[in-house]
A and B are shown apart, each in its own frame.
Chain A
Amino acid sequence: METVAVKKKKKEKPVPFDYSNYIRKGKLPHIWCPGCGHGIVLKSLLRAIATTGRPNDDFALVSGIGCSSRTPGYVNFNTLHTLHGRALAFATGLKMAKPNLKVIVTTGDGDALAIGGNHFIHTCRRNLDIVIMVYNNFIYGMTSGQFSPTTLPGMIATTSRYGNIDPPFDVCKMAEAAGATFVARGTAYHYGELEKILYEAIMHKGTAVIDILDSCPTYYGRFNKYKSAADMMEKIEKEGTVSVKQADSLPLEKLEGKLLRGVLYNKERPEYTAEYAKLVEKAGGSKPK
């Protein structure tokens, strides 16, 4: 498989990437609104998967309910679209039954952190080898714009007309505290950087959580007076973040109110399927397939 994007040299003409091996063309068009960042995130994911050089059948994409959770239906892997909040529970069963599958969960801020919050922290705690992509657009898009656990205070949603008073979760801090061993933040705007992060996450052995800042121009954008989808991306994803690599050299005032992008935490810790294999050996059983 071509490792085009990751090793791309400057000024070299990029080789066109062939998506046809990854997209279920007959299942398009997708349901995402014009200006939604989910398609860009998907592009980064597919390119990262291609870079691993592993066949499609080695991957399972599991999701819950919401806009981002529609991702698996469009792509040519083993795909499972489940219940609201429960993607990680399904993914856990699947991964334990078939440890050789590389399981990637596509989920949203509401799906992963509100209704699915319990499964989120416990998956991280076990350090089960799953990639958790949180498409974080600060809103429940599919149900037309209610505030979510990542909506910032003061922001307007259909259920926070006077301004949101719920404090938000920091996805990355929560993941790290719960025990995830690879924690990163990317954005749809920085799609090349996101591709590299996703590649690293896939190659990581353990729970990998990626907080992906993404925009919902249809609801979050309109309610909160962003001029356009592009304006949202610029303000939230570009101007609202700083690369972790640049952060050290920047004065403190330039970091204020900005979220760090890049790999924020990466540590080795015993991974769950490997630990389970040891347990089986201890019990005198044969190793699971």
Chain B
Amino acid sequence: MATVLKIENLHKSFTLGFLLKKKEILRGISLSVEQGEVFGYLGPNGAGKTTTIKCILGLIFPEKGNIEIFGHPYLSPKAKEKTGFLPENPYFYDHLTASEFLDYYSQLFLMKKEAKEKKIKSLLRLVDLEKSADLQLRKFSRGMLQRIGMAQALLNDPSLVFLDEPLGGLDPLGRKEIRDIITRLKDEGKTVFLSSHILQDIEMICTRVAIIVNGEIISQGALHDLISEKILFTEVILSGVNDKELKELGECISGHGERTLLKVFKEENVEKVLQLAHSSKGKVHSLIPRTETLEDLFVGIVKQR
């Protein structure tokens, strides 16, 4: 697979306060993104995720390092023609209607009238804003702004899309809609660079991730390589069994009515729990083996730092 984004040894610092104290935000970031993958860029707040994206898109200038997009220098119009960007908490020209807004942005790509009109219609359909095409953006809800932001990011049919916290602040339905669009982009063969700290969503849609903490990449690779598939413990929900006997086999987490949630760490004890339930004429409601999640990995790494 071809490399669409290559970052080498990226450094950026800002001067803060009256005394112009220098604060290092990025300390030698290096990563590469391959064509067609959904690349998750994870990190706690203030780790440097947005700063990295701003450097890539030419909104701020790195002090050191090299960035290439599709083999072109990152600031060249050729590189920008192939990319799309949805910023965090997007805010757009609120005096424009949705279609006026997309029309304005399409002019920045020098799109021809017919192609422009067709594209705007299809994008409004994609983000489910056809009915709000003539509504001013100031009347848009947060979810709608996120969706119109997604539409502007896709105006030029980009091969590489940067999404900065696209799922932040959205309700479950809004999150699902954005997730579906990202999945669709992936199916169309586009590359998505997704910065987020909502780990469940990253786990669901990303193929490869990089974890950034304090301006440094701590870990990167394919999701299945990073997360161990070894069973960490088994969660068993059961009823009609004496709690005292269960405590010897695992950790009783909670009791809701007659039901008990038991965390069993040893695999041989799972069998014993089932036998106990059978002999006590109890009932097993669910039995779920838990493997390591991205959240476990992330929390582990961040705590180590």
| A and B from one complex | no
